[in-house]
């Protein structure tokens, strides 16, 4: 086994090669589940061995005593050496290995067994043997990695690559890093704060928030980032990936829960009240349909104009009941959950808290119930800023998007104003998706923090002007990016026409002379 320090390039290439082994056996959108599972199994075994050896050396313990004293427990059936001995029913052995890890480490309950390896129609023993041999090529001990966060970086690389490879299915849980970094730098999480993502996917926004905090004064305590991370994810497979992502980035105490945030928010206190956070950051699924479902018995009987009974479904305002009082600004339409997610984020913000969320452009100008909610949010002076993003940034949609910045504690200078930026031109062209680069992020954040008007780019708009526009936040209403029409000099145009006519007459005269000489 190669014990040299692993570089990020080597690690990424090695992990991506594992996808080649799976090609043709399973759908590309499922690669991540199997590769991430084996990656974590190999990593946990190598780190376990490393910790056991360190304890034996430091404390003088026997191996058995050292194994009992490790932070992470690894039962015999989950040991890499045990699994390698199997020549048949390897998938079943792997399933037992993951179940054993969950049994001995209760914080991983449901994480490791979310993917099943025992289906021989998908994963033959021969294929699994090839995968095990492939993952056996490198040591993933901490001492053998070039940096402490190397495995987490490679993990995020694979998430992006799977999004590229699987298209919409892969992109459901991946937000491009440039977008994530932009939101984090706009809301500026601070050391000691609690940061929460209600639709956390694979956890990239939380990890980027922690990275940002680690770079601040007092951002680290020893080797630990001085932050508490919380998240919730509806999709079971994606939730499991998010949990593993946190572990691979050494955020062992990150509180990532599963469930539908709009229906059953999981982070509550002992009084069944929603937990409050300092910073909330999210990229919810765009315009999610069917976010509430009328009860089967919610049919009402009414009388028509002729006095006859008729059965009708009640208005959803009468159907949606929320014991947490999150939708005080109004209940969005059933086919558009965007402002439901936004109101949940507002409900869990502390009174001095800030939130940043990616929403489709339609939330800026759609009328009806959403228009009323938008008006209420603006009148409550909760909207600090709007940043219009470039098109074609996301893997799962071509819908144009924008970032909403929510602030419950605006400064005097910010009150009754909204900072609006048109960043639609700040991107690098890509083959499939466009990309926001660091220089674009710097430009946007500097303009936003400076809080001054920039011609054709940014404006600090008074709430009164927004009200005059019927609370429509369509960016083009406030920032004119059109180029001025060139000024036409009518006198010069007439002179040019006269000159052209004179030249034409001269040409005609010469042509007539030539024709006469030719006898035509």
Per-residue pLDDT of the chain (520 residues; tens, 9 = 90+): 444 788 888 988 998 899 899 988 887 777 878 888 898 899 889 989 999 999 999 999 999 999 998 888 899 999 999 999 999 999 999 999 999 999 998 888 888 888 899 988 889 999 999 999 999 999 998 888 887 667 767 777 777 777 665 544 444 556 888 999 999 999 999 999 999 999 998 888 999 999 999 999 999 988 789 999 999 999 887 888 888 888 878 788 899 999 999 999 999 999 999 999 999 999 999 989 888 766 554 555 556 667 676 666 555 444 567 889 999 999 999 889 999 999 999 999 999 999 999 999 999 999 999 999 999 999 999 999 999 999 888 866 678 899 999 999 999 999 999 999 999 999 998 777 788 999 999 999 999 999 999 999 999 999 999 999 999 999 999 998 776 667 777 888 888 888 888 888 888 888 888 777 777 7
Angle at 207 between CA 52 and CA 406, to 5 degrees: 155
Distance CA 206, CA 76 (A): 33
What 8-state DSSP symbol labels residue 482? P
Torsion of CA 109, 115, 119, 122, to 10 degrees: -170
H or E stretch covering 100? helix 90-104
Task: Let me know: does 246 contact 256? Beta carbons within 8 Å.
Answer: yes
Question: Alpha carbon of 440 to those of 77, 244, 423, 430, 454: distances in Å?
Answer: 50, 31, 9, 15, 15
Q: Which among 129, 157, 313 has a CA at the least distance from the CA of 248?
A: 157
Angle at 285 between CA 280 and CA 288, to 5 degrees: 120
Where do the H-state alpha helices sit in 402-518? Answer: 438-450, 463-468, 490-517
Distance CA 356, CA 187 (A): 6
- Amino acid 168: pLDDT: 44
Count of C-beta atoms within a 10 Å radius of residue 390: 21
Q: Using CB atoms within 10 Å of the CB of residue 179, give its burial: 0 to 12 exposed, 13 to 18 middle, 19+ buried.
A: buried
- Amino acid 303: pLDDT: 61
Task: Let me know: does 365 contact 316? Beta carbons within 8 Å.
Answer: no
Task: Let me know: does 351 contact 395? Beta carbons within 8 Å.
Answer: no
Distance CA 11, CA 154 (A): 7
Q: What is the pTM of this model?
A: 0.79
Pairing of strands 401-407, 349-360: antiparallel
Coil vs helix vs strand at 508: helix
Coil vs helix vs strand at 149: coil
Torsion sign, CA atoms 115, 116, 120, 126: positive
Distance CA 387, CA 409 (A): 19
Task: Let me know: does 20 contact 34? Beta carbons within 8 Å.
Answer: no
Distance CA 238, CA 232 (A): 10
Distance CA 218, CA 195 (A): 16
Distance CA 91, CA 98 (A): 11
- Amino acid 233: pLDDT: 94
Bridge partners of 195, per DSSP, are 229, 279
Pairing of strands 228-233, 255-258: parallel
Q: Which among 91, 135, 80 has a CA at the least distance from the CA of 113?
A: 91
Q: Using CB atoms within 10 Å of the CB of residue 259, give its burial: 0 to 12 exposed, 13 to 18 middle, 19+ buried.
A: middle
Q: Report the half-sphere exposure of 27 (CA within 13 A, side-chain side).
A: 8
First and final C-alpha spacing in the chain: 96
SS3 content of the chain, % helix, strand, coil (to 5): 45, 15, 40
DSSP 47-92: HHHHHHHHHHHHH---HHHHHHT-SS---GGG-HHHHHT-SSSHHH
Torsion sign, CA atoms 44, 46, 52, 54: negative
Pairing of strands 224-225, 309-312: unpaired
Question: Alpha carbon of 83 to those of 173, 199, 339: distances in Å?
Answer: 31, 35, 48
Distance CA 507, CA 513 (A): 10
Strand locations in 306-371 (E)? 309-312, 349-360
């Amino acid at each position: 086994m190669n014990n040299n320090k692993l570089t990020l390039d080597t690690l990424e290439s090695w992990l991506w090669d594992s996808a080649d082994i799976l090609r043709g056996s399973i759908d590309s959108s499922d690669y991540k589940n199997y590769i991430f599972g084996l990656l974590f199994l190999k990593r946990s075994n190598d780190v376990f061995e490393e910790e056991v050896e360190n304890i034996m050396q430091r404390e003088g313990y026997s191996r058995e005593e050292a194994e009992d004293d490790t932070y992470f427990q690894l039962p015999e059936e989950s040991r890499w050496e045990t699994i390698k001995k199997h020549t048949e029913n390897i998938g079943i052995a792997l399933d037992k290995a993951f179940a054993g890890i969950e049994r001995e480490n209760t914080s991983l309950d449901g994480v490791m067994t979310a993917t099943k390896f025992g289906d021989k129609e998908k994963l033959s023993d021969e294929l699994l043997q090839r995968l095990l041999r492939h993952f056996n090529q490198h040591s993933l001990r901490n001492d053998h990695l070039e940096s402490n966060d190397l495995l987490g970086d490679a993990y995020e690389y694979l998430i992006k690559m799977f999004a590229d490879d699987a298209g919409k299915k892969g992109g459901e849980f991946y937000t491009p890093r440039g977008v994530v970094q932009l939101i984090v730098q706009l809301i500026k999480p601070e050391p000691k704060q609690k940061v929460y993502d209600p639709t956390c996917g694979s956890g990239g926004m939380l990890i980027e928030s922690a990275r940002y905090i680690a770079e601040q004064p007092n951002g680290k305590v020893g080797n630990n980032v001085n932050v508490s991370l919380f998240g919730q994810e509806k999709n079971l497979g994606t939730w499991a990936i998010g949990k593993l992502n946190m572990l691979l980035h050494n955020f062992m105490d990150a509180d990532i829960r599963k469930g539908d945030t709009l229906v059953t928010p999981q982070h509550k206190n002992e009084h069944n009240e929603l937990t409050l956070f300092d910073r909330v950051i999210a990229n919810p699924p765009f315009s999610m349909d069917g976010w509430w479902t009328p009860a089967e018995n919610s049919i009402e009987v009414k009388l028509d104009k002729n006095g006859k009974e008729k059965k009708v479904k009640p208005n959803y305002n009468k159907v949606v009941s929320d014991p947490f009082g999150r939708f005080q600004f109004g209940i969005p339409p059933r086919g558009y959950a965007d402002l439901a997610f936004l109101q949940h984020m507002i409900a869990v913000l502390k009174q001095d808290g800030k939130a940043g969320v990616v929403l489709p452009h339609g939330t800026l100008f759609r009328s009806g119930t959403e228009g009323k909610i938008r008006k209420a949010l603006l009148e409550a002076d909760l909207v600090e800023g709007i940043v219009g993003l470039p098109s074609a940034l996301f893997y799962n949609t071509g819908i144009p998007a924008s970032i909403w910045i929510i602030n419950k504690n605006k400064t005097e200078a910010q009150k009754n104003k909204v900072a609006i930026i048109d960043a639609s031109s700040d991107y690098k062209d890509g083959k499939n998706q466009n990309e926001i680069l660091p220089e674009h992020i710097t430009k946007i954040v500097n303009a936003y923090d400076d809080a001054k008007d920039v011609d054709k780019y940014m404006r600090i708009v008074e709430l009164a002007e927004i009200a005059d526009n019927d609370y429509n936040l369509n960016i083009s209403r406030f920032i004119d990016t059109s180029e001025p029409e060139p000024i036409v000099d009518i006198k010069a145009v007439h002179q040019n026409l006269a000159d052209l006519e004179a030249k034409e007459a001269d040409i005609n005269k010469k042509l007539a002379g030539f024709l006469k000489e030719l006898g035509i």
